[in-house]
Amino acid sequence: MIKTIGYTLFIICCISFLAILTIPLFGFSTKQAAGISLILIIIGEVTFYLSLLFLGRSFYEKIKSMLRFRKPKKNNNTEQSEEN
């Protein structure tokens, strides 16, 4: 049950961030669009952190590894100095 709540919150987070991209299509004024964007960003951030709270550290580590674009390189100098 806890995992289901966590995944639901994560989906709401993703939807709220994707909804920001659709705001210009509705013809809101600049102030209205800024306000709606701010609300969606806050909702997205809060639901993301709540989903991490429910899903735990393993889910956080999985997301972090998926978003890492450059893999850390092993330093050959460190490995050689450890062998000596």
pLDDT in tens, the chain (84 residues): 888 998 999 999 999 999 999 998 998 999 999 999 999 999 999 999 999 998 888 887 888 887 777 766 676 665 555 555
CA–CA separation, 1 and 26 (whole Å): 37
- Asked if residue 47 lies in contact with residue 12, where contact means CB atoms within 8 angstroms, the answer is yes
Burial profile 63-78: b = 16 or more Cβ within 10 angstroms, e = fewer: eeeeeeeeeeeeeeee
The answer to whether the pTM exceeds 0.75 is no
Helix 57-67 to helix 30-55 angle, to the nearest 10 degrees? 120
What ranges do the domains of the chain cover?
A: 2-83
Q: What pLDDT is recorded for position 1?
A: 86
